[in-house]
Structures are given as C-alpha cells and as structure tokens.
Amino acid sequence: MARGIRQRDPNTGAILVDVTSRLPKIIGRVTLSPGVSGFVDVPVMGNNPATFWFNADTSQPDYNTSPIFTYDGANRISWQYVSPNPLYQRGGVLVYGRY
C-alpha cells in the first residue's frame, strides 16, 4: 500500500497536496566537487522512473553556478559544469532514487 500525505483546503475540500500514490525511494548520494563532471547509474527497480535533486553547498558564494544535469531516460544521471573556472562553480550533494 502506498503511503504519503493528502492535504485538502479546509473551506472547499479541494486537494492541495497529494503524494499518496508515489513516493521516491532514495537509493544513493554523490558528493559533487566544483569543476568535476561525471555521472552515476541509478539501479533499475522494475519500471519505476528515476528521480534526483541537487543540494547545493551554501557555504559558497551565491554567484557560483551549479552543474547542468541530464538524464538519459533509462538509468544514467550526468552532470557537467559550464564555467571553466572551478572558483565560480558550486559543489554539493546529488541525491538520487526511484519512485
């Protein structure tokens, strides 16, 4: 049975938030260093789609850029930094999983 939350508007009863059907399962985390591009393969779990998010390092200046992420639609998440100078790039943690 799926678990999650469903929040309704107290006045109208309309559903405001509904995450009861699919919740992501965290499979792993990768620490990204500024200037180091790479990839991670998300293990296959049936037909469940992959999900990922990036938690940027907040100790770095706001003008630093985060990497550009791409997903191949199957199981590989890649990241690449656009700026050639690591001093202007933001590291952090990439969290990934499957629904």
Instruction: Quick: pLDDT tens for 19-75.
Output: 666 677 889 999 999 889 999 999 998 888 888 999 988 777 777 888 999 999 889
Give the CB-side neighbour count of residue 48, counting CA atoms within 13 A. 18
**68: Cβ–Cβ under 8 A, 6 or more apart, which residues?**
79, 80, 81, 82
Instruction: Yes or no: say if 18 and 8 are a contact pair by the CB < 8 Å rule.
Output: no
Pairwise pLDDT comparison (16 vs 4), residue with the higher score = 16
Res 70: pLDDT: 94
Confidence of residue 2 (pLDDT cuts 50, 70, 90): low
Report the C-alpha gap between 34 and 29 in whole angstroms. Answer: 16
Residue 76 bridge partners (DSSP): 41
